[in-house]
Amino acid sequence: MAKRSYNQYCAVARGLDVVGDRWTLLLVRELLLGPKRYGDLLAASPGIGTNLLADRLREMEAQGLLERVTLPPPAGSNVYRLTDAGVELETVVRALGRWGRRFMGPRREGEKLSTGAYFVALRERFRPERSANLHEAYEFRVDGRVFEVTVNDGTSTTGEGSAVRPAAVFTMDTQTLNDIFLGQVTARRAIADERVEVAGDAKALGRFQAMFPSV
């Protein structure tokens, strides 16, 4: 079946021809955190279905948004990763997130929490002025997935994978991550209530929350 098009000679229309299909930008959002195997993308996208995922990945590869590569040993896994054109969509994803916040409201029945989405959204939350002279990394272990957040004197990066020499490792579930992200619970309270297990500097979660505030 031919891919649908708006058939307009317009940059917006052409862009939507490429990324406007359901799931495309959400798959980009996941891949902004690093290369992923097919199974990882399927697990991170509940509701997509294996056939639809395969179709979307095939279309995104044909459009030059991602590529399939084999990671070097010892991993040796076949993964999908964004091309330069795909990485440039980060500005679109972040802008859409800023715009879409007004429609969030209360969580609807049946809505799932996307663990990876928080670590892309953190890039928008970062307050560089609050990280002056600070150089440290944090590792988050959330419902079986591992993420790293690194802060270096006014800059920050996030990604999926283990942190190098983290100041602390935080283990929690996605609901707790959501509550911390939204400012519904303080770092101190989350630790005191044993919703977060900390290995390393117990004060690091408070520093993290201050640099990535909910408001």
Determine the Cα angle at 109 with ends 107 and 112, to 5°: 70
Number of Cβ within a 10 Å radius of residue 188? 14
pLDDT at 213: 93
4 pLDDT band, cuts 50/70/90, is confident
CA distances (Å), 21 to each of 12, 24, 30, 175, 177, in order? 14, 6, 16, 29, 29
> What would the pLDDT profile of 56-106 be if each residue is shown by its tens digit?
999 999 999 999 999 888 777 899 999 999 999 999 999 999 999 999 989
pLDDT at 12: 95
pLDDT at 6: 92
What are the boundaries of each domain within the chain?
A: 11-101, 115-211
- As its CATH architecture, domain 115-211 has 2-Layer Sandwich (3.30)
CATH number of 11-101: 1.10.10.10
With a cut of 70, say whether residue 2 has pLDDT above it: no
pLDDT at 76: 76
CA distances (Å), 54 to each of 57, 61, 87, in order? 5, 11, 20
> What would the pLDDT profile of 19-32 be if each residue is shown by its tens digit?
999 999 999 999 99
With a cut of 60, say whether residue 215 has pLDDT above it: yes
> What would the pLDDT profile of 179-201 be if each residue is shown by its tens digit?
999 999 999 999 999 999 999 99
With a cut of 80, say whether residue 3 has pLDDT above it: no
DSSP E strand boundaries for the chain: 66-70, 78-82, 135-142, 145-152, 155-160, 168-172, 197-200
> What would the pLDDT profile of 203-214 be if each residue is shown by its tens digit?
999 999 999 998
Identify the CA nearest to 33 among candidates 1, 81, 78: 81
Nearest-10 crossing angle of helices 24-31, 115-125: 70
Under 8 Å CB-to-CB from 122, ≥6 apart: which residues?
149, 156, 158, 181, 212
Query: Quick check: helix, strand or coil at residue 152?
Result: strand
User: Is pLDDT larger for residue 115 or for residue 75?
Assistant: 115
Number of Cβ within a 10 Å radius of residue 150? 17
Q: The whole model's pTM is what?
A: 0.93
